[in-house]
Amino acid sequence: MLFAGVSALLLVLAAFHLTQGTSGIGLADLWAQLTHSGDDAHRTLVGTILTGSRIPRLVTGLLVGVVLGVAGVAMQSLARNPLASPDTLAVNAGAQFAVTMVAALGISLPALPGNGVAFIGGLLAAGVVVLIGGSGSTARLVLAGTALAMALSAVTSTMMILFQQETAGLFAWGSGSLLQIDLDTVRQLLPVMVAAIGVLLLLSHRMDLLALGDDTASMLGVHVGRLRVVVLLVSVLLATTAVAMAGPIGFVGLFAPASVGLLVRFAPGLARHRVRYPAAALIGAVTVIGADVLLRAIFGDTAGVNVPTGVVTTVLGAILLVAIARRTSASRVASSTGAVATGSRRRFACWLAVAIVAAVIFLVSGIVLGGRLVLLGDLPNWLAGRSSVELSGVLDERMPRVLGAFLAGAALAAAGTTVQAVCRNPLAEPGLLGITAGAGLGAVLVITVFPAAGAVTIMAAAAAGAVLAFGLVYLLARRNGLDSGRLVLVGIGVFAGGTALISMLIVLTDPWNQVKALTWLSGSTYGRTITQILPVAVLLVVLLPLMMAGRRRLDLMSLDDDAPRLLGVELERARLLHLGGAALLTAAAVCAVGVVGFVGLVAPHCARALVGARNGRVLPVAALIGGVLVSVGDTVGRTVIFPAQLPAGLVATVIGAPYFVYLLWRTRD
């Protein structure tokens, strides 16, 4: 009954899907094609349109949904984790990275070899994620996958910016696009998909036994290690085949298996893998085709061509991720970040002095280095207004960039320190809690809807987006008390949904300018003015001393819920005040340099390792380290490939993401 209902829904969606497009084809035309009735010339025209674009798009969507649904079931069964999927295991990001790297090298591959490249990239990424997070909690696995995916995405974006001509068109493809001109790719990859699904179906009974536990499965004759390797290889192959066909269409591999899991209580037979696989395949196909139908129904047929279908599926998947996270208690994200010395005042003073000196050195280096080398002796002349017109032009353009990078890094580091203390989660940071995506979405919304908006308006929109995003995360995570792991999972869901909406806004308003999108989403100081960075400076001057004044409350909140209450701290009010300040700092940083990831995670950890765990000492040192990190990213991005430039956020992410993975590795036990 269930299969019949889903199949009927899929048929209806497929028929409606064929009627959508820039050419007017209705259900009557489809019926005429099937019954060979009506005018021959008109039927020939309709047939050309159908076979030229609409049927390839429909078939691609159906197959992508099928293989992602099946791959998701296999991955969740292997990991015994309801949040395991090609997205959370970084398979999609690894495959996208591999395909983009080959394209950047100027190598054009047919579909089958291209799928092999995607498979290698996806398999390596999944192996790293399983190695550092697979044996831990649900949140650890998702955090590991998200960290690696962000790092790979940063490198992928860098290649797209450096090799614009070679990677033209890969931005929309990177969000998952069903746009096809023929069935050539499908014909080449179909045997791979059929063979992989056949292998999983043959192993269904053994997977049922594996669900009983490794020991029980071994006693019943299952070679557990071999089975895990084979199923992992086949499931990754299926997921990367979908990437080779249509790009990384987000969260279908999570949505379809999770939907089947919810239906098990009504249809117990779905618990068996030989039934679960086809059920997830059907639901996956319905999800992809339904998302594509919804996309073109809302934005029109022309916009439906430009906007990737993966944007819609990512938003749907993000909603599901939040729903699953709210039902999950996942506080054991990481027991610690390693041994942290208490630290003496003398040690704190020494490291603070070192951080100040380092900040001055890197700020000066950022000012003098670039397309034109500026001598230190030129700086006093520029400050006094006695420099040449050419030198004044160089420094007038460079100074706001250098200051903006440093101030944004400091703001993100201070916000990250606060978020980690309040959430009692050493792996939390503004980006992974949805604050960065919310700020970016608010700013991009104003920029796209009101192109003439000033810096103050953009700042206000970013601040509102950051506060609303974190408020949403906080409210959704507060189920039977605030669970730090749940907070991170909900934040990742909001982050994914917000990032997808940002991509959709940019593609809708300027579909051919992928560099504009990549630059904003990667964090860039290009073209910044003093007016744009002034809000960051003001908020740092106001909020950092207030955070320092509340350092004892932060120390108490980082212990547990009972200690602050016993000592008279109004816990909920203190949380909201500190987190609100963190959201404002993040919003200001996003306005100044765009979206920068991992600075709010790496800088506080480095500071704790140097000066101990007291937040009054961590905050100033972390702010300086964060400023230095983004300053280095900006200087390297401006100089290493001059006259081309890399966004500062990309360089900072490439540095920060591996450190995050290292933290997870250290705490894997």
Give whole-number Cα distances, 557 to 560, 563, 568, in Å: 6, 8, 12
**Read out DSSP for 548-559?**
HHTHHHHHHHTT
Say what the pLDDT of residue 304 is. Answer: 63
Helix%, strand%, coil% for the chain, nearest 5: 75, 0, 25
Q: Where are the beta strands (DSSP E) in 140-279?
A: none
Please say if the pLDDT value at position 511 is more than 70: no
**Which of 540, 525, 527 is closest to 404 using CA atoms?**
525
Average pLDDT over residues 199-211: 91
**Which of 255, 378, 403, 388 is closest to 319 using CA atoms?**
255
Q: Could you give the domains of the chain?
A: 2-300 (1.10.3470.10), 345-666 (1.10.3470.10)
Amino acid (1-letter code) at residue 309: T
Rounded CA separation 43/38 (Å):
7
Q: At 594, is the pLDDT very low, low, confident or very high (cuts 50, 70, 90)?
A: confident
Say what the pLDDT of residue 337 is. Answer: 38
Q: At 332, is the pLDDT very low, low, confident or very high (cuts 50, 70, 90)?
A: very low
**Read out DSSP for 197-226?**
HHHHHHTHHHHHHHTT-HHHHHHTT--HHH
Say what the pLDDT of residue 484 is. Answer: 63
Say what the pLDDT of residue 201 is. Answer: 93
Kindly give the residue spans of alpha helices, DSSP state H, lying in 433-454.
435-449
Please say if the pLDDT value at position 618 is more than 80: yes
Question: Taking CA 574 as the corner, what is the angle to CA 572 and CA 575, rounded to the nearest 5 degrees?
Answer: 65
Kindly give the residue spans of alpha helices, DSSP state H, lying in 105-182.
111-133, 138-162, 170-174
Rounded CA separation 518/512 (Å):
12
Please say if the pLDDT value at position 427 is more than 70: no
Rounded CA separation 252/62 (Å):
12
Per cent of the chain over pLDDT 90 is: 16
Average pLDDT over residues 330-349: 56
Q: Are 265 and 97 in contact (CB under 8 A)?
A: no
Q: Kindly tell me the sign of the dihedral angle through the C-alpha atoms of 395, 401, 404, 409.
A: negative
Q: Are 79 and 88 in contact (CB under 8 A)?
A: no
Rounded CA separation 251/378 (Å):
54
DSSP assignment, residue 136?
S
The answer for 499, left when phi > 0, alpha when psi is -120 to 50, beta otherwise, is: alpha
Contacts of residue 381, defined as CB under 8 A and 6 or more positions apart, other chains included, come to 387, 391
Average pLDDT over residues 77-87: 83
Give whole-number Cα distances, 291 to 110, 276, 304, 507, in Å: 28, 22, 11, 17
CB atoms within 10 A of CB 159: 18
Instruction: Name the token pair of 326.
Output: 């709210």
328/115: higher pLDDT: 115
Rounded CA separation 581/576 (Å):
8
Q: At 130, is the pLDDT very low, low, confident or very high (cuts 50, 70, 90)?
A: confident
**Which of 443, 450, 384 is closest to 588 using CA atoms?**
443
Say what the pLDDT of residue 656 is. Answer: 75
Q: At 356, is the pLDDT very low, low, confident or very high (cuts 50, 70, 90)?
A: very high
- Cα torsion 118, 120, 123, 124 to 10°: value is -120
pLDDT (tens digit per residue) in 271-324: 899 999 999 999 999 999 998 888 888 877 666 666 778 888 888 888 887 887
Q: Kindly tell me the sign of the dihedral angle through the C-alpha atoms of 218, 221, 225, 231.
A: negative
Amino acid (1-letter code) at residue 668: R
Q: Are 458 and 534 in contact (CB under 8 A)?
A: no
pLDDT (tens digit per residue) in 143-176: 778 778 877 887 887 787 777 777 766 766 777 7
Say what the pLDDT of residue 133 is. Answer: 64
Please say if the pLDDT value at position 473 is more than 60: yes
Find how far residue 142's CA is from the centre of its chain.
Answer: 11
Q: How many helices (H) and strands (E) does the chain have?
A: 29, 0
Rounded CA separation 604/659 (Å):
12
Query: What phi, psi does 185 have (nearest 5°)?
Result: -60, -40
The answer for 434, left when phi > 0, alpha when psi is -120 to 50, beta otherwise, is: left
Say what the pLDDT of residue 428 is. Answer: 73
Residues in the chain: 669
Query: What phi, psi does 478 have (nearest 5°)?
Result: -85, 75
Q: Kindly tell me the sign of the dihedral angle through the C-alpha atoms of 121, 124, 129, 132.
A: negative
Rounded CA separation 432/334 (Å):
15
Per cent of the chain over pLDDT 70 is: 86
Rounded CA separation 96/100 (Å):
6
Average pLDDT over residues 600-616: 87
Radius of gyration of the chain (CA): 26
Average pLDDT over residues 126-155: 73
Cis peptide before 643 (omega within 30 of 0): yes
pTM: 0.78
Average pLDDT over residues 388-405: 81
Q: Are 663 and 427 in contact (CB under 8 A)?
A: yes
